[in-house]
Structure 1
Amino acid sequence: MFHPFKDWNDEHVVKFYIRTVHLIIFIGVIACLISAGIYIIFRPDLSERKMEKSKTIGVSYMTMNNEFYKIINQQITYEARTKGDRIILRDPALSVQKQREQIEEMLNEGIDALILTPVEASELTDILMKAREKGVKIVVVDTELIDPTLADSTIVSDNYKAGSLIGRYYLQKHANGARVVLMTHDETISGKERIRGFCDVIKKNAKIKIVGKVPCEGQTEIATPALKKFIDKGHEFDSVFCLNDLAAVGAAYGLESRRLLHKVDLYGVDASPEAKAMIYDGEMQATSAQFPTEIGKKAAQTLYRLLEGREVLPKVYVNVELVDRRNVKKYRVDRWQ
């Protein structure tokens, strides 16, 4: 076998190996120093400079007592954290005054953008004008402002269609006439649009009468006693259309307490898990499905287009679909779609 050191004595071999090892160590040290220098020059900016470049996003839905808004917020929060940005979430709990104060606080904290679901469409004009003067980007979700130009973009379900889908279904089920109660929330444009869509369709049948409107703010705990009170006044009706499924669940409790749940048809908007379970069990007839995950994704995409200085659509509609007992399994009873 060939051996390069066959003519060398042992001392020469040892010295050769020592020099070789020293050379390798020296080259390794130089390589490490060069790598460290390159890292220092080109390393990701994880210091305070990066924090200065990150964005702060203020978020205010009308309430967090609704799984719908929690799902929307999950999508926005995920996108913000992916980009290293900060979320400030506040819950006005259906108080427009509290929402105004919280937006003011967020402006003082230096937010770059605001995700908003207004408690009342007409009561935030001055604070939103102040936000725009500060250069804050505004994305409205789920409902609209009375002055849509205050928002850079509005992301909503097609609320008029949601109501009209139920209206068309209702006409088929009540062709011979009916007496319907409306559970309303007139402070929100989304709620008003759903009611308007429903009423525009059912008025085609003169035998269908609206016997009353019951304000409920779209909340279960308000809808239940409100409908009980309406029933106790002696009003007679055979169906209830609710602006959302939280109100429909509240209406169901009220009807059940008066032994009317299986005598009165019940309709809503959302396709929440609770409403779909009621449809499956025959305690509710139909609802229009909203897609909060899709709304949240579109809101996040729009938000970051704005922050990047890119153009966005002033209004984006997310489609709605009718859910009844025939297709409820398609939408998964145990979760939002």
Structure 2
Amino acid sequence: MRKKIMIYILMAVGTLFLLTGCKKNVGTPEDNAVTDESDDKKEDTDQEKKVFGFCGIDMSNPFYATLKDSVQSALEEQGDKLLIKDPAGDAERQNTQIQELIEEDVDAVFLCPVDWKKIEPALDALEEADIPVINLDTKVYESGKVAAFVGSDNRNAGYVCGEDLVERKPDGGQVVIVENLNVNSVCERITGFEEAVSKGAFEVVKRIQTGNDVSGLKQQVAQVLAQNPDLDAIMCGDDQMAEQVREAITEAGQEKVYVYSVDGSPASKKALVEHTGGMMGIGAQSPINLGKKAVKIANAVLNGEDYEKETYEETFFINRDNVEMYGTDGWQ
């Protein structure tokens, strides 16, 4: 009888031992250190996020501010980050800021060069660091040192302005050109304009070279207006220049002088609607579309996919007749 009791006791202890051992496999998370797959995926996603750099020409220029916003919005939609630098029109400062982006170990840089030749040291440093460059809006001189260029058809933007002037002034007239020889895109616009007006009897009576600072432009234009009472038109390389020119024309009471520009900022479109400052037409571009396209190409570059080495967005003419189609509250 005692043997049977001992056997029953041993069997009960064994069963309890087995049950305890089994419980360990189905117990609390503390008992079972099971890795949550969603946590692993989150860590992988965080590691895959990229950091980009953006360095424009002058972020006080609404065009570059809008371009930056477009790039940033597109990157944030895909979970990436953008570091922004503002050289404020200073070529040397831009080279320093590019070096700062290199030290931040960015994956790629979106670059609008202040000076298309003086940017070369920064391009060399980026190449040494194996960081690809997406060149935006205005070309660098050494185009072989960038992965891709994304810009507007600037020659056409200038051409459509000149074409309109020829139609309005078939007998020709006197023209002033406001330009910046440091910026390739502005040079292309002026080239397109001059190609168009060469078909008419126009004389360029003055060329104003602004460099990267337009603060003194209004005074220069005021002097030109006083010296050239028969002036017919002023062609501006961008809307920042045009704003200064319109102010000078308004103050001089010379709104018979036609003003043309390239960009399509809200301020210039509003001047078209209100017929102020002689504003007659704009060779328009879209910084919003440029930014979106640039991000797509940057992704292709980093992912080793096929992409276009050079991409040109369409430019078009906005005048007093069609400006309402594009609105004055923002960029087209």
The 2-side partners of 1:54 and 1:138 are apart by 18
**Counterpart in the other structure of 2:166:** 171
The 2-side partners of 1:186 and 1:256 are apart by 27
Query: Does residue 1:269 correspond to 2:262, yes or no?
Result: yes
Q: Which residue among 227, 241, 246 is the counterpart of 1:247? A: 241
1:38 Cα offset (Å): 6.5
Asked if structure 2 preserves the Cα contact closer than 8 Å seen for 1:220 and 1:248, the reply is no
5+ unaligned residues in a row in structure 2: which ranges? 1-22
Matches within 5 A, 1:274-293: 274-283=267-276, 284-293=279-288
Q: Percent of pairs identical after alignment?
A: 24
Query: Does residue 1:40 correspond to 2:12, yes or no?
Result: no
3-state SS, counterpart of residue 181 of structure 1: strand
**Counterpart in the other structure of 1:305:** 300
1:222 Cα offset (Å): 3.8
Q: Which residue among 203, 207, 211 is the counterpart of 2:205? A: 211
Q: Aligned AA for 2:106?
A: I
1:37 Cα offset (Å): 6.7
1:147 Cα offset (Å): 1.8
1:313 Cα offset (Å): 1.0
Distance 1:50 1:333, change over 3 A: closer
Asked if structure 1 preserves the Cα contact closer than 8 Å seen for 2:87 and 2:97, the reply is yes
**Counterpart in the other structure of 2:5:** none
Distance 1:319 1:305, change over 3 A: same
1:83 Cα offset (Å): 3.3
Distance 1:110 1:165, change over 3 A: same
Q: Which residue among 106, 126, 132 is the counterpart of 1:131? A: 126
Q: Which residue among 315, 318, 331 is the counterpart of 1:320? A: 315
Q: Which residue among 58, 61, 83 is the counterpart of 2:56? A: 61
Query: Does residue 1:194 correspond to 2:207, yes or no?
Result: no
1:217 Cα offset (Å): 4.0
3-state SS, counterpart of residue 215 of structure 2: helix
The 2-side partners of 1:81 and 1:31 are apart by 42
The 2-side partners of 1:76 and 1:244 are apart by 21
**Counterpart in the other structure of 2:13:** none
1:266 Cα offset (Å): 0.8
1:78 Cα offset (Å): 2.1
Structure 1 stretch displaced more, 311-320 or 64-73: 64-73
Q: Aligned AA for 1:194?
A: R
Asked if structure 2 preserves the Cα contact closer than 8 Å seen for 1:218 and 1:244, the reply is no
Query: Does residue 1:257 correspond to 2:269, yes or no?
Result: no
3-state SS, counterpart of residue 71 of structure 1: helix
1:119 Cα offset (Å): 0.3
3-state SS, counterpart of residue 246 of structure 1: helix
1:31 Cα offset (Å): 9.7
1:99 Cα offset (Å): 0.2
Distance 1:99 1:46, change over 3 A: same
1:53 Cα offset (Å): 3.9
5+ unaligned residues in a row in structure 1: which ranges? 1-26
Asked if structure 2 preserves the Cα contact closer than 8 Å seen for 1:100 and 1:124, the reply is yes
Asked if structure 2 preserves the Cα contact closer than 8 Å seen for 1:164 and 1:194, the reply is yes
3-state SS, counterpart of residue 84 of structure 1: coil
The 1-side partners of 2:115 and 2:50 are apart by 27
Q: Aligned AA for 1:239?
A: A
**Counterpart in the other structure of 1:6:** none
3-state SS, counterpart of residue 141 of structure 2: coil
1:219 Cα offset (Å): 6.0
1:318 Cα offset (Å): 0.3
Asked if structure 2 preserves the Cα contact closer than 8 Å seen for 1:216 and 1:226, the reply is no
1:229 Cα offset (Å): 3.4
3-state SS, counterpart of residue 176 of structure 1: coil
Matches within 5 A, 1:22-37: 30=26
1:45 Cα offset (Å): 4.2
**Counterpart in the other structure of 2:102:** 107
3-state SS, counterpart of residue 43 of structure 1: helix
3-state SS, counterpart of residue 36 of structure 2: helix
1:263 Cα offset (Å): 1.9
The two structures, once aligned, show a CA RMSD in angstroms of 2.4
Q: Aligned AA for 2:75?
A: A
For this pair of structures, how many residues does the alignment match?
307
Q: Aligned AA for 1:198?
A: F
1:86 Cα offset (Å): 2.5
Distance 1:33 1:280, change over 3 A: same
Asked if structure 2 preserves the Cα contact closer than 8 Å seen for 1:215 and 1:226, the reply is no
Asked if structure 1 preserves the Cα contact closer than 8 Å seen for 2:264 and 2:283, the reply is yes
